[in-house]
Amino acid sequence: MLSVNDYLCNTPFHEYYVDVEYNRNRGGLVKTIIDKDEVITSDTCDLILHSRGTFYEQDNLIAVEMKKATRSDEDKESDKKRLIALTQCENSVWSYGGESLPEHVCRYILGGLL
């Protein structure tokens, strides 16, 4: 059975990383997200596919949250809100040349709740 990292080796995304519960930027900064109500929270997504800051044009590709069916509706709704914040981007702009990280994590192309 292939892992996601193994599968990526033969794709255009071979330089991206799959990380589980990853919430660090370069320099050890904790990643944060900002929602539509401008509430800022630290971000620890269950599984992400990203370049770890290497490709500032499109650093973040996929964010996945996973919940057991028996979890509360409140927990599931919290994950949905996190994915919405991760796939939208209004308050996060890279500096020219990608020299500094955006203030909040966003711009994931795809967010999924399993």
Per-run averaged pLDDT (10 residues), the chain, 114 residues: 85 92 70 81 86 85 92 91 84 54 81 93
- 93, exposed or middle or buried, with CB in 10 Å at 0-12, 13-18, 19+? exposed
Domain residues for the domain of 72 are 4-113
In the block, tokens 């499109």 appear at 58
Give the CA dihedral 37, 72, 64, 20, nearest 10 degrees: 110
Rounded to whole angstroms, the Cα distance separating 5 from 13 reads 10
Q: Tell me, what's the pLDDT at 32?
A: 82
Taking the model in full, what pTM does it have? 0.80
Which residues make Cβ contacts (< 8 Å) with residue 88, sequence separation at least 6?
36, 106
Calculate the alpha carbon distances from 35 to 17, 46, 51, 108 in Å.
25, 18, 23, 14
**What pLDDT is attached to residue 53?**
81
Domains identified in the chain, total number: 1
pLDDT at 73: 92
Q: Where are the alpha helices (H) located in 50-99, listed in sequence order?
A: 73-87
> Nearest-CA neighbor of 93 among 106, 104, 102, 81?
102
